[in-house]
């Protein structure tokens, strides 16, 4: 039984190697990203132009996008002359009450972050975009934002990075 399993595994790996060699430049990875012939990526610093400024958000946003690209693609990050580039700014950082109770108190508050992103693909300009992305997280009303802010921002950035990345690299 072990011998059959070993032979089956060997045949599978041989088949995968053959498909990889014969398919040429097909790009496949576990993220579903298609990067084509791109080899390099540049991520500009995302300035915070929101009315309310979280002083750490620009750096966290920029680093989160770099981390997402490195974890999900084989692109090499560079400072100039990249095949693909991301730049933009944080345009919104707002807190709004949600679900008002009978006592006119917010049962929940919502933190919303909006970012405008310009994506440039020097190798395939049809994939360029200039688009705003917005995500939010809620927290218990009546509690201070500062007691929840770092976790909320972390969750929002995860969602934003997924949206920005998919818009640039996922061919659905």
Token reading at 153: 């921002």
Is residue 12, in this structure, part of any structural domain at all? Answer: no
Is residue 158, in this structure, part of any structural domain at all? Answer: yes
Is residue 54, in this structure, part of any structural domain at all? Answer: yes
104 against 15, higher pLDDT: 104
Q: Output the domain CATH number for residue 76.
A: 3.30.160.150
Integer Cα distance of 43 and 76 in angstroms: 11
Is residue 162, in this structure, part of any structural domain at all? Answer: yes
Average of pLDDT values for 140-155? 91
Is residue 55, in this structure, part of any structural domain at all? Answer: yes
Give the number of domains in the chain: 1
Return the pLDDT at 51: 94
Is residue 24, in this structure, part of any structural domain at all? Answer: no
DSSP letters, the chain, are: -HHHHHHHHHHHHHHHHHHHHHT-S----TT-B--TT--EEEE---EE-SSS--TTHHHHHHHHHHHHHHHH--PEE-SSS-SEEEEEEEEEEEEEEEEE-TTS-EEEEEEEEEEEEEEEESS-GGG-EEEEEEEEEEEETTS-GGGTHHHHHHHHHHHHHHHHHHHHHB--
User: Which percentage of the chain shows pLDDT scores above 90?
Assistant: 65
Range of the domain at 42: 34-169
- pTM value? 0.77
Average of pLDDT values for 142-163? 94
pLDDT digit string, tens, across residues 10-52: 444 443 344 333 333 333 344 456 788 999 999 999 999 999 9
Average of pLDDT values for 130-159? 94
Is residue 100, in this structure, part of any structural domain at all? Answer: yes
pLDDT digit string, tens, across residues 79-97: 999 999 999 999 999 999 8
Q: Is the per-residue pLDDT at 67 higher than 60?
A: yes
Is residue 3, in this structure, part of any structural domain at all? Answer: no
């Amino acid at each position: 039984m072990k011998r059959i399993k070993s032979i089956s595994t060997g045949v599978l790996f041989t088949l995968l190697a053959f498909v990889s060699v014969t398919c040429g430049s097909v790009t496949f990875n576990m993220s579903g990203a298609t990067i084509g012939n791109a080899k390099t990526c540049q991520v500009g610093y995302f300035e915070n132009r929101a009315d309310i400024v979280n002083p750490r958000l620009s750096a966290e946003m920029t680093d989160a996008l770099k981390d997402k690209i490195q974890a999900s693609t084989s692109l090499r990050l560079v400072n100039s002359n990249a095949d693909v580039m991301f730049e933009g700014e944080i345009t919104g950082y707002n807190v709004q009450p949600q679900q008002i109770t009978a006592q006119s108190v917010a049962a929940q508050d919502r933190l919303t972050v909006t970012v405008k992103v310009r994506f440039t693909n020097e190798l395939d300009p049809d994939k360029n975009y200039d688009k705003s992305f917005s995500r939010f997280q809620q927290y218990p009303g009546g509690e201070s934002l500062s007691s929840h802010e770092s976790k909320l921002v972390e969750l929002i950035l995860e969602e934003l990075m997924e949206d920005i990345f998919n818009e640039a690299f996922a061919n659905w």
